[in-house]
Amino acid sequence: AVDKDGWLNTGDLSMKTHDSEYKIVGRAKDTIVLLGGENIEPAPIEERLKLSPYISLAVVVGQDKKFLGALILVDPENVKTWAGDNNVSYTDDEELFTGTEVHSLLSDEISSLISQANGFKMFERIARFTVLPKPFEVSRELSGKQEIKRHVIDDLYAKEIKSLF
């Protein structure tokens, strides 16, 4: 059904681009509401984080919390290349991806990408994050269309999410 202004409510969220075009940026059902009442759409933050060569996927969390957190999947090849270029020693991938050097690298990446200079509000910043050691799987954490299954991730990674808050 079309509303009084001529819009069709699809449940999608959009934003108007500088070219006066509309771009779909997420789903209304994905909205995160922080403890202070701020409404946050995770999709634009997650898309921005994927601009880092070291982040392959991010899931923003924080429903009913004071701040946002994120579950991060690294880009294995780029992180390994960075480690080699920076003389970071490690015995296996999990040690590298969850180690302090990569955490520091990702922290800098996240802070520079999700900043006021890039149009994000203070409450949209990622306060804490954790790196997940294994990629997501289709039909488990991802749908057949490669979309994040938030409710499944909330259940599967409840311990990791809780540790952020």
- What pLDDT digit, counting tens, does each position of 18-47 carry? 777 776 655 556 889 999 999 999 999 999
Pick the CATH number of 28-164 from 3.30.420.340, 3.30.1360.120, 3.40.50.620, 3.30.300.30: 3.30.300.30
pLDDT at 40: 94
For 124-142, what is the mean pLDDT?
Answer: 92
**pLDDT category of residue 140 using cuts at 50, 70 and 90:** confident
How remote is the C-alpha of 64 from its chain's centroid? 17
Q: Kindly report, residue by residue over 62-78, the tens digit of the pLDDT.
A: 999 999 999 999 999 99
pTM above 0.85, yes or no: no
Residue 41: name the closest of 65, 66, 13, 21 by CA. 13
**Whole-angstrom distance, CA of residue 74 vs CA of residue 125:** 19
